Structure 1
Amino acid sequence: MICLKAFSSPLHLPTLRRLAPSSSLRVAASAAAMSSSSSAVAAPVEHIVLLKARPEAVASGAAAAMVASLQALATQVPGLAYIHAGPVLRLRSPAAEALGTTHLLHSRYATKQDLATYAAHPAHVAAVQGHVLPNALDITAIDWVNAAELPSPVSPGSAVRLTLAKAKEGVEVSQLVEKVAAATKAAGEAKVSFGENFSPARAKGYQFGMVAVFDSVEELDAVEGDGKVEEAKAAVRPLLDEVLVLDFVAGPAAGEAPTPASL
């Protein structure tokens, strides 16, 4: 495990391996909290919200109630292909440390219209107004349409590395997306989703987002120093300016018992 102070690699790409046929994406499609394969959403719209909870909210339990209110949307809002709300496991870059994110929400949709429907849904509005705004000191949000060739299924207990990036001056974000696509394809198949941000209002200048999904924290940790990963990062690094990297562990779907994370 590398120390945060020694962090020098600006883009974390996952160990590249073939997906197991049994991999699945936990889906909350209705109040019945049914599950389905992630292949149902071929090119998902990704929605990431980073939250910096007030210290008093963490101490009082209000931050935990905020997370619960967001996770409960799984059975309240139609069109959600996947949703996870929970604490951050690790901040892995200076930009992440500076932002001070403590919690996050990661959700997926089949279309941009599904995301818009979610944003305007009364249950979502109530969760934001009643729990998020009173208990969060800072909010960062980014959305993208997955440009990877393969799906990146997330199941309870999956370890996820989130990377947000700003392109260097003179570099088009589409160039960055193409370079990441080429780098991951050259190295092999990967459980990743990446793309250009299409919601700049709350993104703090971040133009590119990527999630890399691993079966466990141990598997995520094993990518450090992997030769193929280092080659992929070297190919992308010249295009990047500021990069934010953090890790989290996906929790269970709504209505399920928590799955202990191996930390």
Structure 2
Amino acid sequence: MLIAKAAAQYRSQLLSPRALSLSQAAASSAFRRCYSTAPIGMSTSQIVEHVVLFKVKPDVEAAKVNDMIGKLNGLGSLPQVAHIAAGALLRARSSSLSFTHMLHCRYRSKSDLADYSAHPDHVAVVKGYVLPICEDIMAVDWIPDCFSGPIKVPAGSAIRATFLKLKESVGENEKNEVLRVNKGIKEKFPSIEQLCVGENFSPARAKGYSIGSIAVVRGVSELETLNEAKDTVEEFLDDVLAVDFAVPAEQSANL
């Protein structure tokens, strides 16, 4: 409860227009405190997944959207970022939400994610280019149990990101079954070159979605061969949000 409260306080501080002017050192300190009570459990074979979904206002000029995407991709120059890719979604499917763009980042530790979130360059991009044109934002963070393959997702690859919202009545055993089924989809779909599944550890902006997964395939055409692995565990789920995304062939390095 303490961890969730501190994380929620930090997230709300970072993204509210008022608090974007607050001391970044204070915000970073709050975020670090919320994780200091929990083991990070990182190793050289583990990474932190960070996915942000944006819903751009329908009347926004294309140039402003392009500026937002360019600035987000430019954050890859920050030392904490192991991988970053931002762009328009190919498709989004959900019973209750709709998004237009996605940011996918990877870090080598939770501390790197905290430093990135509080970095002045990141805050400046959020304040100057994201908040003015977006009407909704959702973010999910998780650590895959067993990570293998390249940290940087190859340019030209395609991603299906899936987020699961569990029913309130679901217990630990049912949750573990949902995780097991989703971790097993790589065996069913040979086109998946990398699969990263895990539990969200920063719930403040996740809209109740507690499990995230990233399936990386060679290209957009391979996305059509994938189906969500919800069939055998659908009784435990309140909602499934699935989005398809193409990793840009060229990513801006300019802030």
TM-score bracket for the superposition, by shorter chain length: 0.7 to 0.9
Tell me the distance in 2 between the aligned counterparts of 1:110 and 1:45.
Answer: 6
- How far 1:249 moved relative to its partner? 0.3
1:250 is aligned to 2:251: no
Q: Tell me: CA distance 1:149–1:109, structure 2 relative to 1, closer, same or farther (3 Å).
A: closer
For residue 49 of structure 1, what is the amino acid of its counterpart?
V
Tell me the distance in 2 between the aligned counterparts of 1:185 and 1:92.
Answer: 21
For residue 71 of structure 1, what is the amino acid of its counterpart?
N
Q: Tell me: CA distance 1:152–1:242, structure 2 relative to 1, closer, same or farther (3 Å).
A: farther
Tell me the distance in 2 between the aligned counterparts of 1:121 and 1:81.
Answer: 15
- How far 1:245 moved relative to its partner? 0.8
- For residues 151-179 of structure 1, the C-alpha deviation after alignment (integer angstroms, 9 at most, x for no partner) is 46621111111101111222334443234
For residue 93 of structure 1, what is the amino acid of its counterpart?
S
2:186–2:195: 8 Å Cα contact kept in structure 1?
Answer: no
Q: Which residue of 1 aligns with 2:155?
A: 156
Q: Tell me: CA distance 1:149–1:254, structure 2 relative to 1, closer, same or farther (3 Å).
A: closer
For residue 197 of structure 1, what is the amino acid of its counterpart?
N
1:238 to 221, 235, 239: 235
Among all aligned residue pairs of Structure 1 and Structure 2, give the percentage whose two residues are the same amino acid: 41
Q: Which residue of 2 aligns with 1:10?
A: none
1:223 is aligned to 2:226: yes
- For residues 72-131 of structure 1, the C-alpha deviation after alignment (integer angstroms, 9 at most, x for no partner) is 0011x1121100110010123334xxx220111110001100100100111101000111
For residue 162 of structure 2, what is the amino acid of its counterpart?
T
Q: Which residue of 1 aligns with 2:180?
A: 178
Q: Tell me: CA distance 1:115–1:206, structure 2 relative to 1, closer, same or farther (3 Å).
A: same
Q: Which residue of 2 aligns with 1:73?
A: 75
Q: Tell me: CA distance 1:111–1:163, structure 2 relative to 1, closer, same or farther (3 Å).
A: same
- How far 1:234 moved relative to its partner? 3.4
Task: Map 1:115-194; keep pairs closer than 5 Å.
Answer: 115-148=113-146, 150-151=148-149, 154-168=153-167, 169-172=169-172, 173-181=175-183, 183-184=184-185, 187=188, 190=192, 191-194=194-197
Q: Which residue of 1 aligns with 2:86?
A: 85
1:63 to 62, 65, 78: 65
For residue 238 of structure 1, what is the amino acid of its counterpart?
E
Number of residue pairs the alignment of both structures matches: 205
Task: Map 1:199-218; keep pairs closer than 5 Å.
Answer: 199-218=202-221
Tell me the distance in 2 between the aligned counterparts of 1:71 and 1:123.
Answer: 12
Tell me the distance in 1 between the aligned counterparts of 2:53 and 2:252.
Answer: 24
Please identify runs of 4+ aligned residues in structure 1 that moved more than 4 A. Answer: 185-190
Once superposed, what is the RMSD of the aligned Cα atoms? Answer: 2.4
Unaligned runs of 5+ in 2: 1-42
2:85–2:251: 8 Å Cα contact kept in structure 1?
Answer: no
Unaligned runs of 5+ in 1: 1-39, 257-263
> Which stretch shifts more, 246-255 or 190-199?
246-255
Q: Secondary structure at the match of 1:170?
A: coil
Q: Tell me: CA distance 1:220–1:91, structure 2 relative to 1, closer, same or farther (3 Å).
A: same
TM-score by structure 1 length?
0.70
Tell me the distance in 2 between the aligned counterparts of 1:60 and 1:241.
Answer: 35
TM-score by structure 2 length?
0.72
Tell me the distance in 2 between the aligned counterparts of 1:185 and 1:244.
Answer: 19
Tell me the distance in 2 between the aligned counterparts of 1:251 and 1:41.
Answer: 26
